[in-house]
C-alpha cells in the first residue's frame, strides 16, 4: 500500500467519523466501506508473521517466503514483503 492509497483511506475514515463536514461529501458510503476494507487489510498486514521456509517452485532453491503472497524474502533485506506489504517476524 503506497502513501497515496493510505492518504485516501485516512480521508475516507475522517469522512466516516465526521459526516456532517461538507469537505468530505464527495465520498459515498461505498467509498467508506471500501476504505474500511483496505484499512483492515493494512492492519492485518502490519501484524508480524513468520516467513515460511521451503523450496522455490521454479528455481528449486531453499529459502524463506512471505506467508501471505509467497514472495521470496530474506532476513537482511526484508522487514516487509515487497509485494503485499506483510510485516515479517524474523525472531527465533
Ligand atoms: Zn507478501
Give 53-76 pLDDT, tens digit per residue.
998 777 788 999 999 999 999 988
Model pTM greater than 0.95? no
CA neighbor of 38 nearest in space, from 80, 6, 86, 79: 6
Asked whether the predicted pLDDT for residue 11 surpasses 80, the reply is no
Give me the pLDDT at residue 25, please. 59
How far apart are the CA of 25 and the centre of ligand 1, in A? Answer: 35
SS3 (DSSP) at 64:
strand
Could you tell me where the DSSP H helices lie in the chain?
A: 3-17, 29-46
**What's the mean pLDDT in 6-16?**
71
Confidence of residue 42 (pLDDT cuts 50, 70, 90): confident
DSSP annotation of 59 reads T
Buried b (16+ CB within 10 A) or exposed e, 23-48: ebeebeeebbeebeebbeeeeebeee
How far apart are the CA of 68 and the centre of ligand 1, in A? Answer: 5
Give me the pLDDT at residue 48, please. 94
Amino acid at each position: 500500500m503506497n502513501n497515496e492509497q493510505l492518504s485516501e483511506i485516512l480521508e475516507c475514515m475522517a469522512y466516516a467519523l465526521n459526516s456532517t463536514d461538507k469537505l468530505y461529501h464527495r465520498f459515498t458510503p461505498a467509498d467508506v466501506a471500501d476504505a474500511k476494507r483496505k484499512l483492515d487489510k493494512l492492519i492485518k498486514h502490519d501484524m508480524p508473521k513468520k516467513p515460511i521456509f521451503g523450496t522455490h517452485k521454479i528455481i528449486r532453491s531453499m529459502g524463506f517466503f512471505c506467508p501471505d503472497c509467497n514472495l521470496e524474502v530474506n532476513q537482511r533485506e526484508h522487514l516487509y514483503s515487497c509485494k503485499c506489504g506483510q510485516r515479517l517476524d524474523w525472531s527465533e
